[in-house]
Chains A and B, each alone.
Chain A
């Protein structure tokens, strides 16, 4: 095709600009369209893809202590939150799965549900939750400690209401340290706060000084999730590249581009009243001892009816 010389030059500059934009936005496109972000060795296919991205869907959120104490990808899931999102009604339900829940893990026998990931990766964690809770999981998101810190920092921090002083004299000092078995003291003071990544992690990870132990931590994790969703409502396309590239293997997901966009666009819709939060405190669970360790026994007769009100 013949173009006048001036047009060729202009087209050249336009092309250069497009390439510049494409290079900048490439990480976001890759992150949202591939199963695994960053340099992690795992690349897992979508377990149960749905034909539509606008219908209700269920996501299993997994969080791991992936510090130097553990071999890479041989980690437990310290946090497991099942999330049901209905874009049409703008309703969401979050159910925290106790990490010490004593269940039958497919192919492994009985154990704490948090250990499923250690032996079989995210697919095993998904399978353990699906088989015990009798639910269908469409996607998963796994995030490591540093991934959460980076995510919150890249969002510009999160805004939370700290309900009571979160005090911990034995908070693990296992990020950016030569001694992953060290610890330090944490005091997150009550009231409205603007938390950066490190302090948000302290808030959701600390458990020693709270009467409710791991259950309190589960509640705070759900609270952080809502704060992240609220913050995501302020994101623009220009924010995605930084967030995606910051993860560096600390985030793995099967969520596709269309559903990711949907979740981000809905961020501001979740204001609290349309989010149902479930923590499996007694009588849904009881504390006990099995396999030489403290565990949490499920009361499935109580749990499953509640679960199936929100999760198919």
Chain B
């Protein structure tokens, strides 16, 4: 008989129980390692609601969009003013009392006038249809200088070309939804159309126009059109591929995003604006993903959206305008997922 066999039965049972316990602990440990590996991967994404973010303060009040909701940003805090329901591209009236914004749904989008608290007070467009292709899009709304008119991009249907969906810029009453919209621009066919209108104080529009050249290359240009239906003039060259214009309140500076033929990065440029003449551009952000610039009300800062690193969700950044040397951009947010196709709306307090 061996020594082990000589042990009492209760001792063998206790050892077996301890062994089973250890094996169970090892199993739990192995499962824990598996879970930890998965957790390590998942921990990379840490997107927060703006209301849960800690940020620096900016002068005035700004409106930004994340995940279909509009947020008001003032004194360093975000306040959600609409539900997450397809809201995008808010713009503020010159007097700072009203917003006009897009509410996007499947197959269509509509324009609404809202109070600055987020309450919708008027639906300007009714673009819904039971037939899929009979729905309409409305994007990029901006109030005109006196607040009575809203300019926006809209896809008027071409009855002879079913597949053609080009956005043209229209003007419509900001107070009377029943009044018919008026088409301002004539887009180049099958390019996607004209977008990002900015009404000028003395009439006219600055916007982005797209074209396709003989070599089938797509170009975007910042365009100036003085009157409804006129041909307008290009402010930038096709090869520069500029778009997303923003101007200062006194209309002397223009910011734009130019990709110069690139497909993975673009530049943020600021240039003097005098009528239909642009000065020499200053590149304030180079060779990054940059979107949706907007000047501060006092024109001292330029805000824009860009990833925190070289990729990833878009954050709010600012850079000083007209400062000597090359001012360093300042990142305002770090964990948000802001909508880069919604330029911030920025107004005085």
A positions within 8 Å CB-CB of B: 9, 12-13, 15-17, 19-21, 23-25, 156-157, 159-161, 163-170, 183-185, 187, 189-194, 208-212, 215-216, 223, 226-227, 230-231, 234, 236, 238-239, 241-242, 271-272, 279, 281
Write the chain A residue with the least CB distance to B89: A189
> Given A21-B37, A24-B34, A183-B132: A191 and B218 within 8 A (CB)?
no
Q: Are B190 and A238 in contact (CB under 8 A)?
A: no
Of B164-172, B178-186, B270-278, the one contacting chain A is: B164-172
Contact of A191 among B23, B215, B340 (CB under 8 A): B340
Q: Are A192 and B289 in contact (CB under 8 A)?
A: yes
Smallest CB separation, B87 vs chain A (Å):
15
> Given A189-B341, A191-B292, A194-B340: A169 and B132 within 8 A (CB)?
yes
Q: Are B41 and A163 in contact (CB under 8 A)?
A: no
Return the 9 tightest CB-CB contacts between A and B, nearest first: A165-B192, A20-B33, A16-B30, A211-B190, A167-B165, A20-B30, A16-B26, A20-B34, A192-B291
Instruction: Tell me whether B108 is interfacial, beta carbon within 8 Å.
Output: yes
Smallest CB separation, A215 vs chain B (Å):
6
Q: Are B26 and A170 in contact (CB under 8 A)?
A: no
Instruction: Tell me whether B56 is interfacial, beta carbon within 8 Å.
Output: no
Once the chains are docked, how many angstroms separate the CA of A209 from the CA of B165?
Answer: 6
> Which bucket holds chain B's interface residue count?
35 or more
Q: Are A190 and B192 in contact (CB under 8 A)?
A: yes
Contact of B257 among A13, A191, A210, A241 (CB under 8 A): A191
Smallest CB separation, B264 vs chain A (Å):
5
Q: Are B244 and A191 in contact (CB under 8 A)?
A: yes
Q: List 8 A-B contacts (CB under 8 A).
A: A20-B37, A160-B263, A163-B263, A170-B163, A192-B306, A194-B312, A231-B311, A238-B41
Q: Are B311 and A159 in contact (CB under 8 A)?
A: yes
A contact residues around B162 at 8 Å (CB):
169
> Given A20-B34, A159-B312, A190-B210: A209 and B341 within 8 A (CB)?
no
Contact of B164 among A185, A209, A234, A236 (CB under 8 A): A209
Once the chains are docked, how many angstroms separate the CA of A210 from the CA of B162?
Answer: 12
Write the chain A residue with the least CB distance to B31: A20
Instruction: Tell me whether B259 is interfacial, beta carbon within 8 Å.
Output: yes
A16, A166, A238, A281, most chain B CB atoms within 10 A:
A16
Q: Are B311 and A184 in contact (CB under 8 A)?
A: no
Smallest CB separation, A228 vs chain B (Å):
11
A contact residues around B241 at 8 Å (CB):
163
Q: Are A169 and B340 in contact (CB under 8 A)?
A: no
Instruction: Tell me whether B191 is interfacial, beta carbon within 8 Å.
Output: yes
Once the chains are docked, how many angstroms separate the CA of A198 from the CA of B188?
Answer: 28
Of B78-86, B133-141, B223-231, the one contacting chain A is: B133-141
Write the chain A residue with the least CB distance to B305: A192
Q: Are A272 and B291 in contact (CB under 8 A)?
A: no
Q: Are B191 and A272 in contact (CB under 8 A)?
A: no
B contact residues around A185 at 8 Å (CB):
106-108, 132-133, 135, 137, 165
> Given A184-B106, A194-B314: A161 and B30 within 8 A (CB)?
no
Contact of A161 among B22, B25, B216, B265 (CB under 8 A): B265
Once the chains are docked, how many angstroms separate the CA of A165 from the CA of B155?
Answer: 11
Smallest CB separation, A168 vs chain B (Å):
7
Taking A167-B155, A170-B133, A194-B337 as given, write out 10 further A-B residue pairs in contact, using a Cβ cutoff of 8 Å, ordered by the A residue number: A12-B22, A16-B26, A17-B33, A159-B307, A168-B165, A187-B137, A191-B291, A192-B314, A209-B166, A271-B264
Once the chains are docked, how many angstroms separate the CA of A22 from the CA of B190?
Answer: 52
Once the chains are docked, how many angstroms separate the CA of A212 from the CA of B163?
Answer: 12
0/1 interface trace, chain B 199-239, chain A, CB 8 Å (1 if under): 00000000010101001101010000000000000000000
Smallest CB separation, A277 vs chain B (Å):
9
> Given A24-B38, A184-B107, A192-B291: A161 and B220 within 8 A (CB)?
no
Q: Are B216 and A212 in contact (CB under 8 A)?
A: yes
A contact residues around B244 at 8 Å (CB):
191
A contact residues around B216 at 8 Å (CB):
212, 215-216, 279, 281
Contact of B191 among A161, A164, A189 (CB under 8 A): A164
Write the chain B residue with the least CB distance to A231: B311
A contact residues around B177 at 8 Å (CB):
none
Once the chains are docked, how many angstroms separate the CA of A118 from the CA of B197?
Answer: 47
B contact residues around A157 at 8 Å (CB):
313
Instruction: Tell me whether B27 is interfacial, beta carbon within 8 Å.
Output: yes
Once the chains are docked, how many angstroms separate the CA of A13 from the CA of B26?
Answer: 5
Instruction: Tell me whether B243 is interfacial, beta carbon within 8 Å.
Output: yes
